[in-house]
Each structure stands twice: as C-alpha cells, then as structure tokens.
Structure 1
Amino acid sequence: MKKITLLFMFIGMITLQSCTVNEDTDNFDNDTISEVWEYNQNVNFIPNNNFSVLLPFQHSIFPSDMVLVYRLSDFDNGNDVWKLMPETYYFADGTLDFGYTNDFTQNNALVQMIGNDLLSLPADLRLNQVIRIVVVPGFFGNKGTEIDFSNYDETIEKLGLTNKPIKKISL
C-alpha cells in the first residue's frame, strides 16, 4: 500500500509541475502608462523669462520615469520633424552658438535656451515653439528593448503610442 501511495504522490507531483503560467513575453509592460503631452504655440524664449519655460505636467509622474523632450524643428513633405533635447548648434569655428536644454521633476520640465546673443537669433527659433514631452516608464530600459530615442517616431512606436491621442496643453 505504501508503494501505491508513493506512486500516486509521484504522479501528482509531476502533474502539478506541468502546470504553466502564461508570462508576458512582450517587450512592453501593459500595466505602465507612457504618455505624450504637447505644449504648442505659446512656448516663447524671451528675456522676460530668462529664455526658459516651465512646462507643467498633467499629473505627477513616477520617480523612476524618464522624460524625453522634443522640439518641432521643421516640416518635411508634410511630416513633422522632431529633435530630441539637448540640441546644440555651433559656429564654424566649433564654439557654441546656441542650444536648447532641459531638466525635469515629477511635476514639470524646464526647457531653456543657452548660448551667445540669443536675441539676435531668428524669431522662428525662439517664439511659438512646439514642444512634446514623452513619458517613458523607468522599467522600460531594463526590458532589453533598444530604442533610438533621437528618432521620435521610433520612440512612439516602441512605447505603443502610435495611435494614442496626444494631449495638447496650452500655456
């Protein structure tokens, strides 16, 4: 009788070990939210604001999240051209002419222009800028997914935001 009980226990153990749990093998965690916020037409870099603009977020982000800041720099055949900050421009001799920098907290992003004689720059580089903030979940870099963050379209695609609405924010 002990041998039969032992045999049933052994079969039961094998049966229980064959149970599997479906694990998410995608490179995207569907429990975490990526978002895009667009600040349009009222982002002006002028002396009155020390050539800097504070962009408030719609809500606080997690401390582990990363924020990418893009500036609408041009149009190409009807398509937007977005440049990732920091963005720098140099004189022919290699010295800094001007650039855009940013930093962020859980509640906002500060975007600044830096450089020499910013008032002499054309108005289309200082006034009515369109800025997009992309919130990237902090864990995303640990998933083994390589993203060229300088490429806005690739970033949006990898984060699963291609068909999601962009929240437009007026300052």
Structure 2
Amino acid sequence: MKKFLPLLLLLVASVFIFSCKDDDDDYVQVDVDYPAVYDLRNVNFSYNSTDGWHYGQNFNNPMLDQDYVIIFRQTGTTGNSPVWQQIPRTLYLNEGELDYDFDFSKNDFMIYAGGTYDISTTPQYLNNQTFRVVLVPAVYGKNANSEDLKKMTYEEVIAKYKINDSKVGTL
C-alpha cells in the first residue's frame, strides 16, 4: 500500500497537469495572405445620385472582421517622396469646402468626395488622384484604437503596427 499511494498521487497530479488549458489556445494564428499596403493610382471619381462622387474597389481577398482600413490621399511630393494625408479630410478651397471620406467592409471600400459647392468645377480633385490604402490586420492591430488611428500620419501607422510597406501592392 505504501508503494501504491505515491503512484496514485503521481497519476492524479499528471491528470491535473495535462488537463489545464493554456490561454494561448484561444488565439488562432492566421497568415495574412494579402499585402498590408495598396496603392490606387489614377483614380477618377464617378457620380451617381445615390452615392454622389465616389470610387469603389473590392479587396482581392476578404479581410478578417477585426481588420481596419486607413486611407491616405497623396497631396504632393517632397523630393521623390510622396506626401500622404489621411482621410477623412476637408480641404478649404476658394470655391468652398471639399470633403474626402470613405467606408469599408471586409470585402470592399468606397471613397467619397463631396463639398459645399459644385465640385465638378474642380476636376483636379476628382481625376487622376492617388490613394494609399493601409490595412491594419487583426494580427498586428489587435490593440488598435480607431480614434488613435485617425490621428496618425502614414509613417506613424506603419511604424506602430510594424507594417512592411517596402512592397506596396495594387488592387
């Protein structure tokens, strides 16, 4: 009996050790199979009475529900480097206010242009525009706060979420 008690204790302890759940099992590692940064060049907005001035695009692969999209508009260049401005953004022009905004789902996004004047009179803001679409994948941005993201520059977003923008994709 004295030899049996230590074996019984060892058996009971091993059942508890192997039945404990590791908290890391709650997280599934998902390979992100899309680039985190896309360029949209030569974007021309189109008009309809439902959406106003808009440009829409589907993603090559659906995003995860937790992923977040940030869109920047190229406003110019400094040297050979593009200057990016996050949208939504209001431009204050002599003609009035021009607004860029967007929405997104896991399958697509839509960029909108609207204003306090007839924006068709300023086609330079509707045609041949360049945008950069940045995805903050759930695996990088699980702690992303959308309000914080809205205040960040392009460089801050790339640095904070360690997004590799050396290979910019296209849609």
**TM-score interval for Structure 1 and Structure 2 normalised by the shorter chain:** 0.5 to 0.7
**Aligned position for 1:44:** 44
CA contact (8 A) 2:69 2:133 kept: yes
| Identical amino acids, percent of aligned pairs | 24
- Counterparts of 1:14-163 in structure 2, within 5 Å, are 33=32, 35-41=36-42, 43-47=43-47, 50-90=52-92, 97-117=97-117, 118-123=119-124, 125-138=125-138, 140=140, 149=149, 150-162=152-164
| Aligned equivalents of 2:144, 2:47: Cα separation in 1 | 41
| Aligned equivalents of 1:156, 1:137: Cα separation in 2 | 12
Q: Give the deviation of 1:140 after TM superposition.
A: 4.9
**Aligned position for 2:167:** 165
| Aligned equivalents of 1:54, 1:163: Cα separation in 2 | 22
Amino acid at match of 1:151: T
Amino acid at match of 2:111: V
Q: Give the deviation of 1:38 after TM superposition.
A: 1.3
CA contact (8 A) 2:71 2:134 kept: yes
| Aligned equivalents of 2:81, 2:134: Cα separation in 1 | 18
Amino acid at match of 1:111: I
Alignment CA distance shift 1:112-1:144 (3 Å)? closer
**Unmatched segments (≥5 aa) in structure 1:** 1-12, 14-20, 24-29
Alpha-carbon RMSD across the aligned residues, in angstroms, is 3.8
TM-score by length of 1: 0.67
| Aligned equivalents of 2:157, 2:87: Cα separation in 1 | 14
Alignment CA distance shift 1:91-1:80 (3 Å)? closer
Q: Give the deviation of 1:76 after TM superposition.
A: 1.2
Q: Give the deviation of 1:102 after TM superposition.
A: 0.2
TM-score by length of 2: 0.67
Amino acid at match of 1:168: T
Q: Give the deviation of 1:145 after TM superposition.
A: 7.5
Deviation sequence 1:57-88 (CA, Å, 0-9, x none): 12100111111111111111221111111011
CA contact (8 A) 1:45 1:51 kept: yes
Secondary structure at 1:119 match in 2: helix
| Aligned equivalents of 1:65, 1:163: Cα separation in 2 | 17
**Unmatched segments (≥5 aa) in structure 2:** 1-12, 14-21
